[in-house]
């Protein structure tokens, strides 16, 4: 069983920054990808960014140049540095891990961008 726990969400003014963290525990296979999705009220859960086991990254267009995804050497933690935040970035942010053909999700952390 894999457990993912996010942290770092909160309220920030437009133009501000936040850093989200996600820690994985349990038993999982190597060669997994980890990343982030977000879900705004009344909308579907959308892909934001992913980092593969070999360090390759991919981002959705709306966050390129503002968000940076990274992971630790043990590949049990993934981070999302969010800069130049906009009100439209307001959402619940979920981390995920792909392992052994399964996708595991965290419980989500709220990010609110408002003045």
- Per-residue pLDDT of 43-61, as tens digits, reads 999 999 999 988 899 999 9
Asked whether the CA dihedral 100, 101, 107, 113 is positive or negative, the reply is: positive
CB 10 within 8 A of CB 82: no
Q: How confident is the model at residue 30 (pLDDT cuts 50, 70, 90)?
A: low
φ, ψ for residue 56, nearest 5 deg: -70, 145
Distance of CA 106 to the CA centre of its chain: 10
Q: How confident is the model at residue 26 (pLDDT cuts 50, 70, 90)?
A: confident
């Amino acid at each position: 069983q894999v457990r993912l726990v996010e942290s770092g969400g909160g309220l920030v003014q437009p133009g501000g920054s936040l850093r989200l963290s996600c820690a994985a525990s349990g038993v999982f296979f190597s060669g997994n990808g980890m990343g982030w999705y977000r879900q705004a009220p009344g909308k579907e859960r959308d892909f934001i960014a992913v980092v593969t086991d070999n360090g390759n990254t991919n981002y959705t267009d709306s966050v390129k140049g503002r968000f940076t995804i990274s992971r630790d050497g043990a590949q049990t933690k993934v981070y999302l540095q969010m800069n130049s935040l906009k009100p439209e970035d307001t959402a619940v942010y979920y981390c995920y891990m792909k392992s052994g053909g399964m996708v595991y999700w965290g419980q989500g952390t709220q990010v609110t961008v408002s003045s």
